[in-house]
């Protein structure tokens, strides 16, 4: 099975859906001839032409306003917001406009669009270009929110997002663009609202998202080799809809829960999952759920400081070991 990069998977995923459906259009800043600031849209302009792959002004509000209008009139736009931090500039559309259009029109209008964006830290871009904003999005009724960690999931979940009748926020982790993974030939279509068990285990459940998934897997392998602790690692993948069945079944098997979250600790996605587990699986737990997070601080640009505040494999190993052996 061939390997491709996460970046090339974005290109392949968009191309797959544009080739399949002429109603799919793509717009954003420097996404056409320039191939995107992260080079994740190279070749799309040449393949699909200027009518379907369009550069926009430097205006996040204009990008999402145009995408919403296109979606409401029959197209299926994919809109790129370069950095997820810039959601703050166009948050009215994200929070008030396209998530509520179908509800407020009593189903008379639909808004089938995807907002792609570069999310997360690790690239030394500083406090205004490195945030993980998945918790901003998952609190809004009417939005679906996904964050793939591997190339094959990029393609499959992007296809599912484009084909979904509701607006989907598609969070691509900037620090994963250069990573590689095996991807089969042919069309790939996944399903929103499904988590994936990436490493089976029996002693503890570790939930992770995006960049934290490979770190959680590395930690699990070290815990097994060095301490005899066998951890099950689940890639949450989809925050809305959330695959509670997979999560609860894993907790019922392992009896311990750890979340690994890049977002700031306050109001992170792991807190919501912990509350669900406390409500629905309290008596399956042999100890309190533990959240491993970034502190509630602006992210520093200095490499040593950014590395220090993000969850690492070492911190995951030590936290799980200490919790299970205490």
Residue positions annotated with a catalytic role: 60, 129
Q: How far apart are CA 154 and CA 159, in angstroms?
A: 8
Contacts 24+ apart (CB under 8 A), 93-96: 93/61, 93/64, 93/65, 93/68, 94/64, 94/137, 94/140, 94/143, 94/169, 95/140
Q: Which two tokens stand for residue 154?
A: 């990029």
Q: How far apart are CA 253 and CA 309, in angstroms?
A: 31
Q: What is the DSSP string of 198-209?
A: EE--SSEEEEE-
Sheet holding 290-294, edge to edge: 196-199, 231-235, 204-208, 257-264, 290-294
User: C-alpha dihedral over 94, 115, 139, 101, to 10 degrees?
Assistant: 50
Scored b (16 or more CB within 10 A) or e, 62-99 reads ebbbbbbebbbeebbbbbbbbbbbbbeebbebbbebbb
């Amino acid at each position: 099975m061939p390997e491709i990069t996460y970046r090339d998977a974005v290109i392949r995923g968009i191309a797959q859906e544009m080739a399949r459906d002429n109603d799919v259009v793509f717009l954003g800043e420097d996404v056409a001839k320039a191939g995107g600031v992260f080079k994740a849209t190279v070749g799309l302009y040449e393949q699909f032409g200027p009518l379907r792959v369009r550069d926009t002004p430097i205006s996040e509000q204009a990008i999402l306003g145009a995408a919403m209008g296109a979606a409401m009139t029959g197209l299926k736009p994919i809109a790129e917001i370069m950095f997820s931090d810039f959601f703050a500039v166009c948050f009215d559309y994200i929070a008030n406009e396209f998530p509520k259009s179908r509800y407020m029109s009593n189903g008379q209008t639909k808004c089938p669009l995807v907002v792609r964006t570069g999310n997360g830290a690790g690239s030394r871009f500083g406090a205004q270009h490195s945030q993980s904003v998945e918790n901003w999005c998952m609190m809004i009724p009417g939005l679906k929110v996904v964050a793939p960690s591997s190339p094959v999931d990029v393609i499959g979940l992007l296809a599912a997002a484009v084909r979904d009748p509701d607006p989907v926020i598609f969070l691509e982790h900037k620090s994963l663009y250069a990573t590689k993974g095996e991807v089969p030939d042919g069309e790939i279509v996944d399903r929103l609202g499904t988590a994936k068990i990436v490493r089976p285990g029996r002693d503890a459940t570790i939930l992770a998202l995006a960049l934290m998934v490979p770190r959680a897997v590395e930690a699990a392998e070290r815990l097994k080799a060095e301490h005899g602790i066998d951890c099950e690692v689940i890639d949450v993948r989809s925050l809305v809809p959330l695959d509670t069945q997979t999560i609860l079944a894993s907790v019922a098997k392992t009896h311990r829960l750890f979340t690994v979250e890049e977002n700031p600790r306050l109001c992170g996605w792991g807190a919501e999952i912990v509350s669900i587990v406390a409500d629905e699986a309290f008596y399956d737990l042999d100890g309190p759920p533990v959240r491993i997070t970034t502190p509630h601080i602006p992210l520093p640009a200095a490499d040593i400081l950014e590395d220090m505040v993000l969850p690492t494999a070492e911190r995951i190993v030590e936290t799980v070991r200490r919790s299970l052996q205490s």
